[in-house]
Structure 1
């Protein structure tokens, strides 16, 4: 008798702040790949983003993720990378999860921009052995170019890369922070509960100490 293996998606990132692009990718991966659930996994101390002055605290980022995914029964918060043991490396996290849950297959969701940086990640071959990498289109990357890069990396690291069939969502947390500092509305780009939390906690204030956002 074959026991069905669980299929879990992972949406990692700093989520500073989380926005609708993250949520859409998570939902699309859930549907396309037939996942059991999608873990939203804030990075506690990502090595490529060590200097975070003027950003949300770890506690605030976790709170924003909680607010954004509440109400979706197949989205779940994971705090596995929120630790004080040092930098968060994806290969360590994935290997630990595989040890803890040997009956589960993991699908690591990344954007096309991250795909082109994949060779600079710590231990890319070990990441490939620990999960299937799901690539979402970003920044209007041509399909042929994206497919070629996925094939190259698959051959280079003996990995399994899947393309996520989704809209090209050109939105980033950096852009959201910039808009907020400029006093522009975040409505429809960020969940309302997250917008309220940002305003109530005075996150991402402008360098002049003033934030003009009014909607």
Structure 2
């Protein structure tokens, strides 16, 4: 009998994906003994898209560029391809139906752990997947739902800060993978002048 694969899902807007995301994914993969981590961009970001911001397909492509070269990472396009508002519970139902031999975990940051009680259908969701929590600076990483906490190096880096740096023409080297920076310049995202083609 084949051993069940252990796959961690790291969801988010990835607007843009950055080195912090990659460090979290690798740290959790190693600490939790996962076979693979899939980055899953959501279709509708929780904030209104501003002019010059990346759309869902650009975020998906940036995420693909960010994980390229790591055989333990991949991108799960299911929410972008479905479109509209995504609910983690429904998405995990679809993934579990598609891959019945896989045990899925859902990777969340400390701020999300504190907000789990607000998630759609959370009582059913905790029965379907294991939550793996990563403490973040300034969060307590505690809540009333079961979360497996893994200790990994903490990095206080956010996509919001990086969008501001990009708009101001400041350096994001080492904070965003080089292929993603090139894509941002080519597409003229986040207020960066579009590169001449």
Answer whether TM exceeds 0.5 for this pair.
Answer: yes
Contact 2:8-2:29 at 8 Å conserved across structures: yes
Structure 2 gap ranges (5+): none
Instruction: Flag the 1:105–1:120 CA change in 2: closer, same or farther, 3 A.
Output: same
Equivalent residue number for residue 9 of structure 1: 8
Q: Deviations over 1:55-91 (max 9, x none)?
A: 2011211111111111100111111111355311100
1:85–1:179 distance in 2 versus 1, CA, 3 Å: closer
Greater than 6 Å deviation, 4+ residue runs: none
Correspondence for 1:41: 40
Partner of 2:99: 101
Aligned position for 1:162: 148
> Are 1:137 and 1:167, in contact at CA under 8 Å, matched by a contact in 2?
no
Structure 1 residue 166: deviation in Å?
0.7
Counterparts in 2 of 1:10-159, with a 5 A limit? 10-46=9-45, 48-49=46-47, 51-54=48-51, 55-141=53-139, 145-146=140-141, 149-150=142-143, 152-154=144-146
Contact 2:9–2:105 (CA under 8 A) maintained in structure 1 = yes
Tell me the distance in 2 between the aligned counterparts of 1:42 and 1:189.
19
How many Å separate the matches in 2 of 1:95 and 1:125?
14
Query: Is residue 43–residue 83 contact of structure 2 (8 Å, CA) maintained in 1?
Result: no
Is the partner of 1:170 in helix, strand or coil?
coil
Alpha-carbon distance in structure 2 between the residues aligned to 1:62 and 1:121 = 23
Structure 1 alignment gaps of length 5 or more: 155-160
CA distance in 1, matches of 2:14, 2:88: 16
User: Does the 8 Å CA contact 1:14/1:61 hold for their aligned counterparts?
Assistant: yes
Q: CA RMSD in A?
A: 1.6
Larger Rg belongs to: 1
- TM-score between the two structures when normalised by the length of structure 1: 0.84
